[in-house]
Amino acid sequence: MLTPGQITLFGRVPITDILSPNLEKKATRDGYGAALVEIGAENPKVVVLDADLSGSTKTKKFSEKYPDRFFNFGVAEQNLIGHAAGLALSGLIPVASSFAMFASGRAWEILRNSVCYPHLNVKVAATHAGITLGEDGASHQIIEDIALTRVIPGLTVLVPADYYHAAAAIKAAVAYNGPVYLRLGRPNVPSIYGAGDAFTIGGSTVLQRGDKVTFIAAGVMVYEAFKAAALIEKEIGQKITVIDAYSVKPLDTKTILNETKDAKLVVTFEEHNVMAGLGSAVAELLSAEQPRRLHRVGLNDEFGQSGDAPSLMKHYKLAAETMVPDLITRIRAVD
């Protein structure tokens, strides 16, 4: 039986162990919430803002530990981001949380004009992103937030894969001087990383090296891509390079170009519309520097719907098992 955190990086555990049912599972929003409390103890300039969702966004523990540094703005996300800008101007480091639909969608103009235009030191930690929000349905399941945020000049966009990397991501974001958008999820997801594994703005992680085929994923889709690679290797013997591109902006162009230079097929994976997200960022890079055959896995210009997260992942063919047949067909076509 695998122990929590045993699957880490660079071949310390064979990729086939990613198929184990005994992997530790925790939500990225929980990693963020736990790290916030640690950050609060280390840096008195950090303040946290929320939109009446602290139980869901996991900022509640920070509010209980540091009540004088926590501000609840109610269901008013534009005010939330605007006040975060003001607090940053006063020399504090505000971390603003809400559901991703509202933090990036409803508050987009304020984020653009009040935070990013003056390049203020504001961190937006947006939880419940993507279809894995589940039962609340399409109105709350944002599948456009990476597109909305990566297009804003100077805004860093981070999409961690698991609990441990989410904790590392908010620490990296707070240490960075500038606006950051951190995309987090609701569901418990398998832990790929362990405590202390590196997270660098502008970086990525090569989880496995193979040949001919390169998978590039972010967020909850890192596990699904990793698992799909294991299933494909088990079925047809093709070992696949797997990259966690957790820094969607700035993208780790050096690693992606290096790991795709001999690839006959590159596949991107995101819990997001395939338009203007991670897949588009990779397509822009490869088309300019190193053209390769590219397939993008994600939502194909369609909205989500109400349902539990596992069912929705299967319905939209984002779960590893549902992707494998098509991926094998594509791999064989370029072999």
**Would you name the residues annotated as active-site residues?**
77
Domain 15-24+198-334 matches domain 25-190 at the CATH topology level? yes
Residue 6: is its pLDDT beyond 60?
Answer: no
CA distance 46 to 295: 41
pTM of the model: 0.95
Burial (CB count <10 Å: 0-12, 13-18, 19+), residue 239: middle
Q: pLDDT grade, residue 215 (50/70/90)?
A: very high
Enumerate residues 6+ apart whose C-beta is below 8 A from 131. 141, 143, 271, 299, 304, 309, 312, 313, 316, 318
Higher pLDDT, 4 or 240: 240
- Overall average pLDDT of the 88-117 stretch: 99
- Overall average pLDDT of the 130-146 stretch: 98
Q: pLDDT grade, residue 125 (50/70/90)?
A: very high
Q: Does domain 15-24+198-334 have CATH number 3.40.50.920?
A: yes
Residue 296: is its pLDDT beyond 60?
Answer: yes
Residue 172: is its pLDDT beyond 70?
Answer: yes
Residue 4: is its pLDDT beyond 60?
Answer: no
Q: pLDDT grade, residue 31 (50/70/90)?
A: very high
- Overall average pLDDT of the 183-196 stretch: 95
**H or E element, residue 321:** helix 320-334
Residues 25 and 190 sit within 8 Å (Cβ to Cβ): yes
Question: For residue 110, which amino acid is it?
Answer: I
Residue 10: is its pLDDT beyond 70?
Answer: no
Q: pLDDT grade, residue 329 (50/70/90)?
A: very high
Domains of the chain, residue spans:
15-24+198-334, 25-190
Please give the pLDDT value at position 1.
29
Please give the pLDDT value at position 17.
77
Please give the pLDDT value at position 5.
35
Q: pLDDT grade, residue 147 (50/70/90)?
A: very high
Q: Hey, what CATH class is 25-190 in?
A: alpha beta
Residue 127: is its pLDDT beyond 50?
Answer: yes
Q: What percent of the chain has pLDDT over 90?
A: 92
Q: pLDDT grade, residue 19 (50/70/90)?
A: confident
What rounded mean pLDDT belongs to the chain?
A: 95
CA Rg, the chain, in Å? 19
Burial (CB count <10 Å: 0-12, 13-18, 19+), residue 41: exposed
Residue 12: is its pLDDT beyond 80?
Answer: no
Residue 42: is its pLDDT beyond 50?
Answer: yes
* Residue indicated by tokens 């067909």: 329
